Each structure stands twice: as structure tokens, then as C-alpha cells.
């Protein structure tokens, strides 16, 4: 006989959906750990191989093995295409071995065997494998997950990640920023109030430096900076180029990574050299030297060489050096000096390389570094020493997944004291008069957050207002990314009378909801900015750099646009008043006003058509002059109005004369 059974709430797993490797982790009885697959492996390469016969795609290590043989059917680094549309993917980004369809405003697709796959469908294949591995390891069905994303991921990219989870049969309970997850894994929530932490994450193909602050048991991301085209792969490539050079010098076959080839011999040579390059690199993280041997590169040529850690460091140093600028920029965005940091944590497989630890330690002036030099011996001195502590306690390639699992446990009701706070990587705002960007949530605002402003019309009898939602740091609306647009209708009224409140709310998943409300009638619209098609994407870094690069021009455009609005208002008001009181003006004064008007118009005419910018100082001066000239006219108009009003109310006699 069936008896009702008690089903506890299903477990929530934490998933690090990485560019190079993905992992799934769980908290069991208070302890987080990464789950292994049936082969005992905890890292799943984020690689998907699509077979000819349409059978279930192969994911992970097996797919990675066929990557060289089946380059057009094997998809790697799909994370780079998540939530992106054709026209914001750069040509160098589509230089992958598989076929990327990146056209117009449509989402990016991958074409294999004549079928188009969206990036979220391909990510879903990776997630399906992680889900199946977790179910096998735990012996129960898994249907809920926390998934991590880079801190700079925009709404479209976060939404695509949520959809990938749904396609894999997972309810995504929360999207968490990778650095925040890493800090959780390190247990840094137990540091003292206001501790500041730098998270240095160097993976296979991406680098991020994020700065977090601990406040009331929650993490805030103060700043984030990085490079989406920099990582361990670059080190592998440098080793491979070096080895290829040595092979050629020794009289062996020649090949180069920078030339595309379809020649099978060349391909297999390149594949062998690349594979050996990564494995040598990994071995040299713990060994002082490695004897590389590549037997039978041709039927008559075998190659061997001894590679020392010193040689590897010589090849890798310039690559690691490139991360330094991003560290500095992140610090300056957070308005911090390195010695104000409490800890620096290392995340990403590539940080296992001792050189990375040394260089990072040196740049941040970490105490562990001084300690190694023997400067410090006593515990007390250690604590008094200036500079952050380099914390390397957690496996760097597992930290993010472990943190995701901890966040999952918090959501499931465990570890109640923790909460997560993240920041907006770029400013969010709306377009206003003259094509200006009006920020509502500045860059690096802690989320979840809600903020708003009131707007009005610039033209009489406007019936609606266009709410054009923008993301970016530029002063001109058109230079920012358009997240979407919608209209809010209201009753026609003279310009400046309608009041529309616009409110931006970012929820805990980093998704933006925009509310516009006509204050008079209470009519409102709420739009969630989730359409992947309408969301442009570029690197945050590029946006910030461009905003610095164009700061001068942008500022001039803003000043001009604002001066122009005042000038046009003044012109219109003056003409109107002049026409109304024309009879009261003597010829001399009329000419003065006309000169003033002409002065303003002359400056306006000098606007450069291409840049829509003129000389803001000259325009302000001309407008001020006109203002000054029309003082008397304005006073006269005011008197007339007052008089008419009082007369209407019967306060004054019908005609005014000297008091009797």
C-alpha cells in the first residue's frame, strides 16, 4: 500500500559555468565541496561536440579530445557569445574554428550540420551534463541551481544564463557574481567590518580584478575591471610558439599557430604541441623543470627538450604583466590604495602558476611576499605590517563553484546570516532633451537598488514621452548602449507641465525593471529589460576607456546642449513678449532687443552639423546679454500682467492714475 511520503525541498546546487571549465558544487551538512563526474573529474571542460548523426551532443573532456579533429563541430568558449547580438560581436571574436552567425540585431547563433544553435542552447548542454553528474553523485534529482557570471555581465548576458539553466531543466534561483562567490568560498564574510578584498581571477581566456567591501556581513562590489581576451591560453600559445621555433631549428617540420591550415599533418603537429604546452605549463607550477618529448613528429624526426620554470616565466611574464593595468584601474575606480586592502585572493586555474602569485603579491605589496623575503618573523609584526594578505587557501579553480554552493545553501535556508550585494558595472539612465544621457543609477551602484527622477516635456501638447533606457558612460545618448525603449502616454499640456516619474529597479539577480508613471493620472508602465535582441553588449572596459578618451568632446557636447536649451527658451520667450508689448516699445529699445536676439542666433548658427556642438561659452554669454537687455521688457510685462489680474479681481479702478 502506498503511504504519503515526506519529500524534503530538493537541493540547490552551485554552478560555475566557466569559459574554459565548468563545475558543480554542493553544501553537505555545512561543508561545501565540488562534485566529481563518473570518471572522478571535478573540472568539466566547457566544450560541446555535435555528432553527425544528430545524437546527443558530447560534453567535456571527450569533446575536448575531438576538438582538433572536428574543429567545425566542436564548440568551445561559448560563454563569450551569451546574450550577444550579431552587430556587437567584433570580427576577431568570430575567429573561432566553428561557424558563428553574427548578423544585424539578431542574436548570435552557431551553425553546425546545417542547424543553428543559440549560445544558451549550447550552454544548456554543458549544464545538462553537470546536472546529470550531480544527480549521479547525490543519488537524487536536481532541479534548482545558483549559477555564477562575471561581474561585468549585463542584463542580456545574465538573462541568457538563466535561459540556459531553464533549457537544462534547472530553475535558476539566483545569478551571483563570480568574485563575490569566490570571496564567500574563502569565508571572507567572517573578516572584520569594512574589510576590503581584491579578487584576482585569471582563467583560461579571461581576466577580472574585482574589489569587494564587507559591510554588515554582506559583500559589495566596489569596482571591477578586466580583459575578456587574456588568460592561460595566451601562456599556452607562447610556449607552443617557442616549441615550434625550437622544432624548426632542430630540423623538424614547420608550422605556425598564426596561420590557418587545413593540412592534416600540420594540424596534428599543432594539436600535439598545444596539448604538450598546457601540460608542461601545469607541471612547471610544481616542478623546477620538465623534459618534453614529442616522438615521431614525422616518420624520421623526434623532438625532445628540457623546459625550465625560468624559461616558462620568461615567456609568461609579459602576458601576466598585462593584468597589472587592470588591477590599478580597479583600485582607482574603488578610490583605494593597495595598502588599504585587507586581502588579495587568487581565483582561476592560471593563478596556480608561482610567477602569477609572486607578481600579484609584489604589485599589491602583500605581506606574504615580505615574509618570504624574511623581512618579518613575528606574528605581531605580521599584523602590524602594511599591505594586504595574499590568501591562497582555496583551490583557485574551485573557489567560484564552492561560493555558488554556499549561496545556494543560504537560499535553501542554511547560513542565514549571509547576504550578497553586487554593483552595476556601467551607469544606467535614459535619454533626455538634445540627445543627452541622463544617468539614474551611476556605475558601481550597489544592487539590489531602486532610484528615480522626475522628467517633463520640452514641447507644448506632447502626448507621450519616449523612455529610452541606456547603459554606458558617455554623455551623448547615441554613444551608449540601448537597452530598450517604450512610450508613456499622458494628457496633452503645455511644455514643462506634465510630470513623469521614472524609476529604475535592479533586483537581486541584476535584472533591470524600469517604471514610468504619469504623476497626474497615475497611469504607469513597467518594462523589464530582458530582451536579448534589444540589448547591445560591448566590453565594460572599452566603454569606460572610451568615456575617458572622449571626456573633453563629450563634456563640450553636454555644455553646448544645455546652453542651447536655455538659449532657445530665452529666444522663444523674448519673441513672444516682444510681439505682445510691441506697442509699448520705443524704437531704440526695440533695436537693442533685436540685436540681442541676433547675437544669440548667430552663435547658434555656428553649430557644427556633424558633431552638433558649438561654443558653449559664447552661447552662454550671448544668452546672458539678451537676458540683461530684456530685463526692462520682462519687468514691463510683469507689471501689465499684475495690473490686469488685480483689475479683474476689482482691486484696482479701471484706470490707473496718480493717487488723489
Which residues are identified as catalytic?
16, 79, 178, 201
Q: Is 18 in the site for Mg ion (CB under 5 A)?
A: yes
Q: Taking a C-beta distance cutoff of 8 angstroms, is the pair 245, 255 a contact?
A: no
Name which of 249, 218, 635, 619 is nearest 434 in CA terms.
Answer: 619
Complex with ligand ADP: residue 403 or 439, whichever CB lies closer: 403
Alpha carbon distance 571, 569 (integer Å): 5
Q: Is 206 in the site for ligand ADP (CB under 6 A)?
A: yes
Query: Restricting to residues 29-58, which ones interact with Mg ion according to CB under 5 A?
Result: none
From the list Mg ion, ligand ADP, none, pick the one residue 397 interacts with, judged by a Cβ distance below 5 to 8 Å according to partner type: ligand ADP
Tell me the residue ranges of DSSP E strands in 350-474: 389-391, 419-420, 422-423, 428-432, 436-441, 446-447, 449-455, 464-471
Q: Is 228 in the site for ligand ADP (CB under 6 A)?
A: no
Q: Is 349 in the site for ligand ADP (CB under 6 A)?
A: yes
Complex with ligand ADP: residue 233 or 473, whichever CB lies closer: 233
Query: Which residues, other chains included, contact 98 with Cβ-Cβ below 8 Å and sequence gap of 6+?
Result: 71, 72, 73, 74, 75, 110, 112
Q: Is 439 in the site for Mg ion (CB under 5 A)?
A: no
From the list ligand ADP, Mg ion, none, pick the one residue 21 interacts with, judged by a Cβ distance below 5 to 8 Å according to partner type: ligand ADP
Q: Judged by CB under 6 A, which of 233, 409, 537, 554 binds ligand ADP?
A: 233
Q: Judged by CB under 5 A, which of 32, 45, 203, 388 binds Mg ion?
A: 203
The two beta strands, 464-471 and 12-17, are: unpaired
Q: Is 18 in the site for ligand ADP (CB under 6 A)?
A: yes
Q: Judged by CB under 6 A, which of 352, 517, 530, 556 binds ligand ADP?
A: 352
Q: Is 403 in the site for ligand ADP (CB under 6 A)?
A: no
Task: Report the nearest approach of ligand ADP to the CB of residue 284 (Å).
Answer: 8
Complex with Mg ion: residue 18 or 388, whichever CB lies closer: 18
Alpha carbon distance 77, 243 (integer Å): 25
Complex with ligand ADP: residue 32 or 599, whichever CB lies closer: 32
∠ at Cα 395 (389, 396), nearest 5°? 70
Q: Is 348 in the site for ligand ADP (CB under 6 A)?
A: yes
Q: Return the CA Rg of the chain.
A: 32
Q: Is 322 in the site for ligand ADP (CB under 6 A)?
A: no
Name which of 650, 629, 628, 647 is nearest 639 in CA terms.
Answer: 647
Q: Is 107 in the site for Mg ion (CB under 5 A)?
A: no
Complex with ligand ADP: residue 214 or 319, whichever CB lies closer: 319
* Bridge partners, 226 (sequence order): 208
Exposed e or buried b for every residue in 354-390, given b needs 16+ CB within 10 A?
ebbbbbbbebbbbbbbbbeeeebeeeeeeeebebbbb
Complex with ligand ADP: residue 118 or 206, whichever CB lies closer: 206
Site string for ligand ADP, 263-282 (x = CB under 6 A): ---------------x--xx
Q: Is 165 in the site for Mg ion (CB under 5 A)?
A: no
For residue 568, how far is the Cα from the chain centroid?
38
The length of the chain is 660
For residue 502, how far is the Cα from the chain centroid?
23
Q: Is 180 in the site for ligand ADP (CB under 6 A)?
A: no
Q: Is 556 in the site for ligand ADP (CB under 6 A)?
A: no
Q: Is 398 in the site for ligand ADP (CB under 6 A)?
A: no
How far is the first Cα of the chain from the last one, in angstroms, to the nearest whole number?
112
Task: Report the nearest approach of ligand ADP to the CB of residue 186 (Å).
Answer: 15
576: number of CA atoms within 13 Å, CB side? 8
From the list Mg ion, ligand ADP, none, pick the one residue 269 interacts with, judged by a Cβ distance below 5 to 8 Å according to partner type: none
How does DSSP assign 224-259, residue by residue?
Answer: EEEETT-SHHHHHHHHHHHHHHHHHHTT-----TTS
Task: Report the nearest approach of Mg ion to the CB of residue 41 (Å).
Answer: 17
With CB atoms as reference, the residue minimizing the distance to ligand ADP is 232
Task: Report the nearest approach of ligand ADP to the CB of residue 283 (Å).
Answer: 8
Helix (H), strand (E), coil (C) string for 289-327 = EEEEEECCCCCCCCEEEEEEHHHHHHHHHHHHHCCHHHH
Task: Report the nearest approach of Mg ion to the CB of residue 372 (Å).
Answer: 27
Classify residue 286 as exposed, middle or buried by CB count within 10 Å of its CB (0-12, 13-18, 19+).
Answer: exposed
- Sole window of 342-350, 581-589, 618-626, 644-652 interacting with ligand ADP (rule: CB under 6 A): 342-350
Site of interaction with ligand ADP (CB under 6 A): 18-21, 203-206, 231-233, 278, 281-282, 285, 348-350, 352-353, 397
Site of interaction with Mg ion (CB under 5 A): 18, 203
Amino acid at each position: 500500500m502506498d503511504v504519503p511520503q515526506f519529500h524534503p525541498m530538493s537541493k540547490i546546487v552551485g554552478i560555475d559555468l566557466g569559459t574554459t571549465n565548468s563545475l558543480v558544487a554542493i553544501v553537505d551538512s555545512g561543508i561545501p565541496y565540488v562534485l566529481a563526474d563518473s570518471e572522478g573529474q571535478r573540472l568539466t571542460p566547457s566544450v560541446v561536440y555535435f555528432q553527425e548523426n544528430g545524437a546527443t551532443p558530447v560534453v567535456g573532456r571527450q569533446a575536448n579530445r575531438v576538438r582538433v579533429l572536428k574543429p567545425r563541430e566542436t564548440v568551445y568558449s561559448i560563454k563569450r557569445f551569451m546574450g550577444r547580438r550579431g552587430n556587437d560581436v567584433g570580427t576577431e571574436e568570430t575567429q573561432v574554428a566553428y561557424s558563428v552567425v553574427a548578423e544585424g540585431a539578431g542574436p548570435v547563433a552557431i551553425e553546425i550540420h546545417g542547424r543553428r544553435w543559440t549560445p544558451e542552447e549550447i550552454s544548456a548542454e554543458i549544464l545538462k551534463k553537470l546536472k546529470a553528474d550531480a544527480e549521479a553523485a547525490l543519488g537524487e534529482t536536481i532541479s534548482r541551481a545558483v549559477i555564477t557570471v562575471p561581474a561585468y555581465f549585463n542584463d542580456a548576458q545574465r538573462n541568457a544564463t538563466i535561459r540556459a539553466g531553464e533549457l537544462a531543466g534547472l530553475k535558476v534561483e539566483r545569478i551571483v557574481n563570480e568574485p563575490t562567490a569566490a570571496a564567500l568560498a574563502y569565508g571572507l564574510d567572517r573578516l572584520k567590518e569594512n574589510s576590503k578584498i581584491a579578487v584576482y581571477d585569471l582563467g583560461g581566456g579571461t581576466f577580472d580584478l574585482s574589489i569587494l567591501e564587507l559591510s554588515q556581513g554582506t559583500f559589495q562590489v566596489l569596482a571591477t575591471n578586466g580583459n575578456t581576451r587574456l588568460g592561460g591560453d595566451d601562456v599556452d600559445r607562447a610556449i607552443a610558439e617557442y616549441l615550434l621555433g625550437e622544432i624548426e631549428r632542430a630540423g623538424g617540420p614547420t608550422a605556425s599557430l598564426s596561420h590557418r591550415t587545413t593540412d592534416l599533418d600540420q594540424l596534428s603537429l599543432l594539436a600535439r604541441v598545444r596539448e604538450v604546452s598546457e601540460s608542461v605549463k601545469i607541471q612547471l607550477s610544481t616542478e623546477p623543470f620538465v623534459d618534453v618529448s614529442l616522438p615521431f613528429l614525422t616518420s624520421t624526426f623526434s623532438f625532445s627538450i628540457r623546459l625550465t620554470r625560468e624559461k616558462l616565466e620568461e615567456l609568461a611574464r609579459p602576458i601576466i604583466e598585462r593584468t597589472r593595468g587592470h588591477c590599478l584601474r580597479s583600485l582607482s575606480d574603488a578610490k583605494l590604495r593597495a595598502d588599504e586592502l585587507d586581502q588579495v585572493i587568487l581565483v582561476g586555474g592560471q593563478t596556480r602558476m608561482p610567477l602569477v602569485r609572486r607578481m600579484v603579491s609584489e604589485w599589491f605589496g602583500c605581506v606574504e611576499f615580505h615574509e618570504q623575503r624574511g623581512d618579518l618573523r613575528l606574528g605581531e609584526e605580521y599584523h602590524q605590517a602594511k599591505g594586504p594578505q595574499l590568501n591562497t587557501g582555496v583551490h583557485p579553480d574551485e573557489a567560484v563553484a564552492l561560493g555558488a554552493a554556499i549561496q545556494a545553501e543560504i537560499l535553501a535556508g542554511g547560513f542565514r546570516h549571509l547576504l550578497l550585494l553586487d554593483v552595476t558595472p556601467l551607469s544606467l539612465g535614459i535619454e533626455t532633451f538634445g540627445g543627452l544621457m541622463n544617468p539614474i543609477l551611476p556605475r558601481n551602484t550597489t544592487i539590489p537598488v531602486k532610484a528615480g527622477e522626475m522628467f517633463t516635456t520640452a514641447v507644448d501638447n506632447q502626448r507621450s514621452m519616449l523612455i529610452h533606457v541606456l547603459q554606458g558612460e558617455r554623455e551623448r545618448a547615441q554613444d551608449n548602449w540601448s537597452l530598450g525603449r517604450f512610450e508613456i502616454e499622458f494628457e496633452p499640456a503645455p511644455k514643462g507641465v506634465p510630470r513623469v516619474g521614472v524609476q529604475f529597479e535592479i533586483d537581486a539577480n541584476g535584472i533591470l525593471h524600469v517604471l514610468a508613471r504619469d504623476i497626474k493620472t497615475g497611469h504607469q508602465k513597467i518594462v523589464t529589460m530582458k530582451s536579448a535582441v534589444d540589448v547591445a553588449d560591448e566590453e565594460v572596459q572599452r566603454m569606460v576607456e572610451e568615456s575617458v578618451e572622449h571626456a573633453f568632446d563629450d563634456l563640450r557636447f553636454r555644455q553646448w546642449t544645455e546652453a542651447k536649451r536655455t538659449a532657445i527658451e530665452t529666444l522663444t520667450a523674448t519673441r513672444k513678449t516682444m510681439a505682445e508689448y510691441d506697442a509699448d516699445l520705443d524704437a531704440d529699445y526695440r533695436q537693442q532687443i533685436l540685436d540681442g536676439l541676433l547675437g544669440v542666433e548667430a552663435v547658434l548658427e555656428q553649430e557644427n552639423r556633424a558633431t552638433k556642438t558649438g561654443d558653449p561659452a559664447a552661447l552662454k554669454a550671448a544668452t546672458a546679454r539678451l537676458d540683461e537687455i530684456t530685463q526692462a521688457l520682462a519687468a514691463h510685462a510683469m507689471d501689465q500682467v499684475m495690473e490686469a489680474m488685480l483689475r479683474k479681481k476689482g482691486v484696482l479702478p479701471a484706470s490707473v492714475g496718480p493717487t488723489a
